[in-house]
Structure 1
Amino acid sequence: MSKSFGITINRYSYTPEAYAYKEYLARRGVDVQLDEASMLDPAHDVHIYFMGVLPIWRKRGAWKEIHEYQSLSTPRLSRLKDFVKKNISREPDSRIFLNESVKDKLRFKDAKPYIFRDMGVDDALFQKPNLNPSFDIVYCGSISGRVGLVEEIKRLADLGFSILVVGAVSIEIRNFLVRKGRKVAFTGRVERKDIPELYRECRAGLNYTPDLFPYNMQTSTKSLEYLASGLQVLSNRYQWSSWLSNEFPGCVIWLDSISEYRYLEIMPSKSEKIENYRWGNILDKSGFYDFVLQGV
């Protein structure tokens, strides 16, 4: 008899892990429901919750419950947020953490089983790049909360780079970036399935992450996606991007080294290491399947 899972998603944020889990489990004959927490079927064998707060007083059923922590809380009052997240939420049966840093900072005192599971890349993004793309640079993702990002996009545009911004952007930011002589285009919010083709229209991908805790120790999924698509990565310097530069020599260009327009080379012979970051390989390495079904 096949097992069934309920995995939380919400309308406010895209959670690629949830979709990767569904595809990975479905290939193994597991039925998966992706939905808001309140809409998950209580008859499922397993529920995975991306935390958040799941209050102690909210009744749980007989399912195996797994809490996932992809990140630490963001400023301001990040330590207080993590304290509340940890102490008001009900106890799970097991946990999944992005990495050791997230686990160590949350400081759970119990002995619940856990695994580490890094971010991965969708299969569709492993593609042959277009050798004649329309844009020099793509930025994909959230702009709000990334102090300095808009100014960096403006600086690169003023140097002469053509830039494609993928994702929701406010009217105020659009008006700030769109000026005579600048080549900046906006897609607005797009479906995940459309992203590979948008990446193929660019030579390099921009990663700009404030060098602040906890942002600076968390995986930049879009940087891995850029590499999978054969793009260079343009990045500011911080803890995780330094790791990326060492892991993929020659694939990262530091933003502070760019003071004038330069031709950006596409990387059709991208490092084979990026194959390790396909979602299937990430989940295999973490032992995800045996872990989530243990005791079910």
Structure 2
Amino acid sequence: MKTLCFIHSGRADLPELNAYRSYFSERYRMDIKTEPVNLQHYDIVWFFMGFYRYNPLPHQFMVHEFASLSLPPLAGCKDWLKKQALPLPHLRIFQNENQRSLMSFRDKVPTLTRDMGISREFLQLQDKTKDFDLIYIGSMDKTRQLTAILFRLLSIKPDIRVAMVGDAPAALKQQFADKPQILFAGRVHHQDIPGWLERSAIGLNAVPNLRPYKFQTSTKLMEYAAAGLPVLGYLNDWTKNFLTRYSVQYADLDQLQSWPPLFENSTVLPKINDELLWERVIERSGVEHYLPE
């Protein structure tokens, strides 16, 4: 059985890692590393890309997966530098066609797209008592504008109960230290997220209409929708497209004037279903047809 190693920075949530491990469990022996060291014994080295400049050994098959485009500031410049500096892999994986087009590699390396998916647990949530009016799960960097969002929500509903799940900067937590109803829960295991959603009334989708976010899949919006939560958030290009395809009660954060938000119920559209499960998404990508046996 061949060996496969996933390499990533450890800074970002990558639910696709567990999905890949499950999908390929009968085909490869797999490891996960957060540093590209001691890789010579692996047959396949699979990088979730930053600026890794690892040159594969003659027996190795190398994958570059672009889980995200570069983040601000100077996002476009960072992506350009990646194109110039990175060694050639044997396969590149992009999240979607927009991402592949924006990166615009001009070589002959095979590429494919593999969109984000959801775990089955998100389709099986129970109706429980709501401990939180709103839940946010994900990155809390400055581009998400969470300070402004939280102060605005507090001005509309001073007693709002919010669960903030993810790594929160110390400065963000300090700004709301006197607001005990805003809980900073820290990072939790992905398998524990459905339990948090069961306790929450509404999901917050803080994805601004900026590069790269407006071109990329909002995994959390998919998970909120699969769990049956109404969603409060910004509208960007990807979100608008998603809302034309699936039945999601969604309220535009920019238009929020009172609590609770006014939701639109698009019941004529299909609900999130098995087609977005991780195993289906990976299968449709065709990635296994590129990897060595």
Q: Identify whether the pair has TM-score above 0.5, normalized to the shorter chain.
A: yes
Whether 2:137 is the aligned partner of 1:140: answer yes
How far apart, in 1, do the equivalents of 2:88 and 2:110 lie?
A: 12
Whether 2:122 is the aligned partner of 1:125: answer yes
Q: What are the superposed Cα offsets for residues 108-129 of structure 1, whole Å, 9 maximum, x if unpaired?
A: 1112211100111123333224
How far apart, in 1, do the equivalents of 2:77 and 2:18 lie?
A: 30
- 2:50 alignment partner in structure 1: 52
What is the TM-score when the length of structure 2 is the normalising length?
0.89
Shift of 1:232: 1.3
Shift of 1:207: 0.5
SS in structure 2 of the partner of residue 33 of structure 1: strand
SS in structure 1 of the partner of residue 31 of structure 2: strand
Whether 2:113 is the aligned partner of 1:150: answer no
Shift of 1:263: 7.4
**In structure 2, which of residues 221, 224, 241 is the aligned counterpart of residue 223 of structure 1?**
221
Runs of 4+ in 1 over 4 A off after TM superposition: none
Unaligned runs of 5+ in 2: none
SS in structure 2 of the partner of residue 234 of structure 1: strand
How does 1:255-274 map onto structure 2 within 5 Å? 255-262=253-260, 271-274=270-273
Cα RMSD (Å) of the superposition?
A: 2.4
Contact residue 121 and residue 224 of structure 1 kept, 8 A: yes
Contact residue 225 and residue 248 of structure 2 kept, 8 A: no
SS in structure 2 of the partner of residue 74 of structure 1: coil
CA 1:144–1:177 in 2, change beyond 3 Å: closer, same or farther? same
Contact residue 157 and residue 183 of structure 1 kept, 8 A: no
- Higher mean alpha-carbon deviation, 250-259 vs 65-74, is at 250-259
* Sequence identity (%): 27
How far apart, in 2, do the equivalents of 1:54 and 1:172 lie?
A: 30
- 1:185 alignment partner in structure 2: 183
Aligned length: 288
Shift of 1:250: 4.1
SS in structure 2 of the partner of residue 253 of structure 1: strand
- 1:276 alignment partner in structure 2: 275
What is the TM-score when the length of structure 1 is the normalising length?
0.88
CA 1:147–1:49 in 2, change beyond 3 Å: closer, same or farther? closer
How far apart, in 2, do the equivalents of 1:95 and 1:40 lie?
A: 22
Shift of 1:48: 0.9
Contact residue 235 and residue 241 of structure 1 kept, 8 A: no
How far apart, in 1, do the equivalents of 2:204 and 2:214 lie?
A: 15
Unaligned runs of 5+ in 1: none
Shift of 1:139: 0.2
- Higher mean alpha-carbon deviation, 59-68 vs 223-232, is at 59-68
Contact residue 124 and residue 196 of structure 1 kept, 8 A: yes
How far apart, in 2, do the equivalents of 1:285 and 1:15 lie?
A: 19
CA 1:243–1:222 in 2, change beyond 3 Å: closer, same or farther? same
How far apart, in 2, do the equivalents of 1:227 and 1:6 lie?
A: 32
**In structure 2, which of residues 57, 65, 68 is the aligned counterpart of residue 68 of structure 1?**
65
> What amino acid sits opposite 2:224 in the alignment?
Y
